[in-house]
Amino acid sequence: MNPFYHRIYKVVRHIPKGRVATYGLVARLAGRPGAARTVGWALSALPDDSDVPWWRVLNAAGRISLSGADHNSVVQRALLLREGVKFAPGGAVNLATFGWPAEAYDSVAAARRGLASSRKARRLKRARR
């Protein structure tokens, strides 16, 4: 087996039930930042009887990357729902809520709140002085 695939599987096995990680984060934690596609290939190479929870890995937008016409996308969504992962009406999972490890997604959530909130925080901090 490809040694990098082995590291990918090890990382994915650590994702707790009810949590998700992105392909990119799995690649980074496995020691190869920027190898998100390789994570996808490794997960698609898993045998059907594997103990690796492949369904807990989503794309950077928190969406299932498998084609909607693909049976596996239906299976992936069902497995995540069974574990308590919630999907927004548009089909994305909130990574700030369900992402693992949570601290990996804190900066993403902060960036999405935008500069307005950081400016507001600075103003509040100055006002407290």
81-97 tens-digit pLDDT: 999 999 999 999 999 99
The predicted model gives 116-124 an average pLDDT of 56
pTM: 0.79
Maximum mean pLDDT: which of 51-60, 61-70, 94-103, 108-117: 51-60
pLDDT, residue 122, reads 60
Handedness of CA 37, 93, 99, 81 (dihedral sign): negative
pLDDT, residue 101, reads 87
CATH classification number, 3-128, choose in 1.10.10.10, 3.30.830.10, 1.20.120.420, 3.30.565.10: 1.10.10.10
CA dihedral 12, 14, 17, 20 (to 10 degrees): -50
Measuring CA to CA, how many Å separate 53 from each of 21, 73, 91, 118?
Answer: 11, 14, 20, 37
Residues in CB range of 38: below 8 A, 6 or more apart: 4, 8, 27, 32
Question: Within 13 Å, how many C-alpha atoms sit on residue 76's CB side?
Answer: 28
pLDDT above 90 coverage of the chain, percent:
69
Please report, as a single letter, which amino acid is at residue 41.
W
pLDDT in tens, 24-66: 999 999 999 999 999 999 999 999 899 999 999 999 999 998 7
Measuring CA to CA, how many Å separate 114 from each of 5, 9, 47, 59, 61?
Answer: 36, 34, 42, 21, 16
pLDDT band at 115 (very low <50, low <70, confident <90, very high): very low
